[in-house]
Amino acid sequence: MIGSNTLPDPVLKVDHVVLQNLGGPGVHLTNAAFTTDSTSLQVHGATGYALELSAMALGSIPPGDYSGNLHDEALVVDNVNIFDNLTIHKRLPIHFTTTKVSVVGLAPTFRSQLSR
């Protein structure tokens, strides 16, 4: 799934979904996240990581079973930085492929300029 925003777009809803015997990662999200009403995702038999997503999408991982994959972990790809409010639930181990992760304040609020 591909989103269109700096903060991952909640575009993927799963509801009792089972993914099995995949020729790559279970789910790969680019600038995207799971919706807040997602429930019960199972990923088994992926030849890669169970999930691949940006750091800001980690808080959207739904409850489920992420076992029996080459890597039973969430791999942080694309943007590894945390720059807004984020709560991460312990659904599965998280793997960062970088030696440096930046955790900074909230994303700035932008105001449009008024024409005069």
- CA 4 distance to own-chain centroid: 14
Q: Which tens digit of pLDDT belongs to each residue from 25-37?
A: 999 999 899 999 9
The answer to whether 100 and 81 are in contact (CB under 8 A) is: no
Question: Which of 35, 91, 78 shows the shortest CA–CA distance to 60?
Answer: 35
Q: Which tens digit of pLDDT belongs to each residue from 49-107?
A: 999 999 999 999 999 999 999 999 999 998 888 888 889 999 999 998 877 777 776 65
| Residues 6+ positions from 38 with CB-CB distance below 8 Å | 12, 13, 14, 15, 60, 62
| Residues 6+ positions from 30 with CB-CB distance below 8 Å | 1, 2, 3, 54, 77, 78
